[in-house]
Structure 1
Amino acid sequence: MFKLRQMTFDVETKGRLSLLIVVVIGYLVTFLGAFSSDGYQGTLSETVLALLLGVVYVLLEWYDEAYFHRLPGPGGKALYFGVQIGLIYAIQWLIGPGGVWLVSLPLAATAVYWLSPLWRWPVYAAILFGMFVSLGLRYGYWESAVFFAISVSPAIFFVVIFAEQGVRERTARHRAEELTAELAAANRQLSAYALQAEELAITQERNRLAREIHDNLGHYLTVVNVQIAAAKVLLGSDTERAVAALDKAQALTQEGLGAVRQSVAALRESPLGQRPLPEALADLVRQSNNTGIVTEMAVRGRPRQLTAAEQLTLYRVAQEGLTNVRKHARASRADLTLDFSSPEHVCLTIVDNGLGREREGTGFGLLGIRERVHALGGEVWVETAVNQGFSLAARIPTADEEETG
């Protein structure tokens, strides 16, 4: 931004300085031409006055921007150009033609910078008319005055074209500065949004990690606890069955350790592996049966391909539901249903015949289920009552309705 502004200042300063140098050259040409000929009619006082008026003219040209910042309205502009045109008239009247026409060029350029196209033309006309009138009245050379005004016109219009190009370039630079500022502001906003998104992603990842740990460890530890409790009961009366229960607990412990390692190594990997969802659910049902709860599974409709996210979500719902049956329900039976009957969604339901509750639970496991299902645009229902068992249902819209063979 700083470099762009610095470049703008340098370009504009050089252009203004060039025009003012033209004014100085015009004075030199005029005075040298006048004093080297016998036709100069001015006195010393007129010469000094012309020089002083020229200094005023140059100062007004150089500080035009400061002037228009103080008096930006139409009245201020009319006063400025009226005074400058009057100074040009007076200078030409005092020292004659020569190179004084060069003095008018900066004013033509200034009109381009500060006036609308409609109001520039009166300034151009006034400059040319002043040359014609001042020369005609002072020296009486009316025909020469007409020719002089006509011959100077191309130079004025050349400066006008040059100034208009400068205005376009200045406008483009200012627009570039504005765009740079807007882009910088947008970049700051994007950086802030990126930070917020990063913080949100970290929070979501923490929640996902907590769900993974709860779902994995909660499932295995519950089953292991049931097997150990069964072994304690059978240890004195049926050693063989007690050992079998402990063997199952040991196997589940090893599976649990493997699941933990898998979660730590790659949290995004699905516990289903390459298995289809019904097969993975059947494995959960088998583990539930091993705890002594009669658990059956039914698949309705024709199974179809689901996305990895859909399969993982339904698997976690089933895992959490069966874990809760073992931990809280005191049920003797549980039924798991995977329903593909609707072409628009798939539904998983777990119903047990346990004690039930007065109201649905608010534990982390159920919260995790809701978060998973809602993330896919699905819904979760819980129905329960005291001594009426517990029913958990999750329904998610399917992204791919193509049936598998």
Structure 2
Amino acid sequence: VPFPQADAAFAASFAAQAGVALELAASRGEAERLSVYQDRDRIARDLHDLVIQRLYATGMSLQGTMPMITRPEVADRVTRAVDDMDETIKEIRGAIFALQARDAASEPDPRADIVGLVEEMTPMLGFAPSLRLGSGLRGLASGELADQALTVLREALSNVARHAGATRADVTVDVDSDGTLTVLVTDNGTGIPPEGRRSGLRNLADRAAKFGGEFRLEPADPGAEKPGTRLEWRVPAAGQSG
């Protein structure tokens, strides 16, 4: 038996209102998730920019006092304190990654590999680099591009460790809103050598060109006694497939 027209109109009106209610609920839920993600990102930034850097500076200060210590037992205690700080920094880095790694089961996220690589390179450098990983990496579709980013970062940090004589390095890896994957490494070392780019750096330029991107190498602080180096590797990530 067909519905009377009045009943059909009522049912359509009810369905429309129910649809609006569902949309509002979904929007509210998305807003709540976004708020949680923003809080996590803020906490992660504070941990990195305030806590880790302060611990690192304190550790460097303690290490600087070692030549002034004459009693071996005091030197041992200071060394143990510095080692404990290093372990604490590693634990905080793990906590930062856990805060940033959301929905990891549903989307690829190469950030764990980047954190592991930076931890691996830290002893060679003699200090822990500053590390910023953007949330855009979470959706990086191409496994090949993630591997390329790791290769670029390893080469950049190896050059800092072997040639720069630096005491600080800052690393940023992200995919921006335009779908561009960027690996940025700056240091406060001696700068680009007079003989120009080394073969490893030429390889990075070739890798960028292969993916339709660009590679830049320039002084981080032109005119300074130790101008440092700014290495930027950018390739389009949008549309790439693994």
**TM-score between the two structures when normalised by the length of structure 2:** 0.49
Higher helix fraction (1 or 2): 1
Taking CA–CA contacts closer than 8 Å with sequence separation of 6 or more, which of the two structures ends up with the larger relative contact order?
2
Q: Which has the larger radius of gyration?
A: 1
Higher strand fraction (1 or 2): 2
**TM-score between the two structures when normalised by the length of structure 1:** 0.30
